[in-house]
Structure 1
């Protein structure tokens, strides 16, 4: 059995290295499902590429998918090979997802230089699927020059994108209270650039002024970066070229100040944490008796968690299994 698995792994890796798009799709499916073959392949391929990773976040209806579609066009004009990971919300009841972002990017489906993959969030509160970083590593290894990661769009819990992407773009819209929500949620602190999309609607200039005022009071980002604000109308493409140049300027800033390595390390930390969280979710689904004891007041949540983790009853958070 081990020999068959190794043979299958070598065959998949060889086709992947040759640029077979079907091998990439197969690898992504294996990784997303947590299959051992996918994990083994990922271990061999990790760190092979160095793409420019852009995270695109913002509230639902801000036009993230349409804006991403336009940014893909800009990247292709510059000869870049583009990968897109679109994280769609999962149903808390069925676990299913609409995976509808591809619909808004259909113009690219025949372009061999663009690969779009939808992922289900599977209950991840940070707006990212647990397998997102693993999929991102595979796209990098496949040789994409730029990768866009578009998140679910769930507001205050959507700060995880800053731990995964090299550059984080926050998309806001006028007349929807987005700016105020951003200030409340602290999402202002994660954005490297701001796009005020649907700028042709009333209130666009007001949002820009509010953002400028808020940014004047916030501390500068690492290396002294000051987040710029770009008015855009994704439906027509207005302002998108300038926004793309802003993304490129931030990447050059990261290179100039040797900040990319710290980004990649934080991405790996997020990936490990995601695996631990997913493991914990599985354990709690299987531990009905322990959960029932918590509901009855026989165990505290902390005692139950320690029991599931195999920790000693009196051990602290930093101690390992007994």
Structure 2
């Protein structure tokens, strides 16, 4: 597979987002299945792996660390802090955004232990804690770099203005924001800011949380704890409207000679060498399908028609519900 630059690292143009091996889309698969996916990614040559303290409240990092430890020198390992599981008065873990310097240090040290490594290649601030100046959080991350616990730093779900503030404290290697045909928010200001500052844009949810795989025909079948149940685009009314986009979308995929998922990923790869998608999957065959998107070439006219079909004006519903929107800092249309 072709490689792209992620700060000082040369990584495969498509990485693996590890979240759904332990988190978010209902009951996670058994660890054995997650191990199979991770090992298959290594066998397929993937060199970029992305996890976080939040995912499975540490279980995802434990899985990634256990399976990838023998391959540590061959991969670029990314994780995130500032958003993690914290026990409540009954000992039940709850997700908490906390960007205080002491918390970021503790999150990082916990991640190093779970990942069974001495250093994290790219360490993101998972969410900007708006009660804490981003400069303070990034300052704490810069000290982790100085101590050799982290090689480079990144930000997640932030605006261009916040990126500039952070970058003034310490060079930011990457911003990880949701980016796909149906979530074009980075094009408001983040794309330009990243190019100006030499920052890579790592695109999570690049296949629109399964929608652009043509894999969510009936939202009533989603598991009770599937996070898509909290997302307006997947409620019955909006989803019914969005499904109307799929027949023409499937036809464009056929014209391009690829699957719907590959079309979504190929479009992102065509956005620029500084864009790196990290799709996630629990299925080895889907992993191979995703990675093959790096070989898909799209004609200019097909890209034009694709962007006219699926964009911020044609997609129905917000990407996040009210609470999640309050927690992020990204620009909105």
TM-score range, shorter chain: 0.3 to 0.5
Structure (1/2) with the larger strand percentage: 2
TM-score (norm 2): 0.32
Structure (1/2) with the larger helix percentage: 1
TM-score (norm 1): 0.33
Larger RCO, structure (CA 8 Å, separation 6 or more): 2
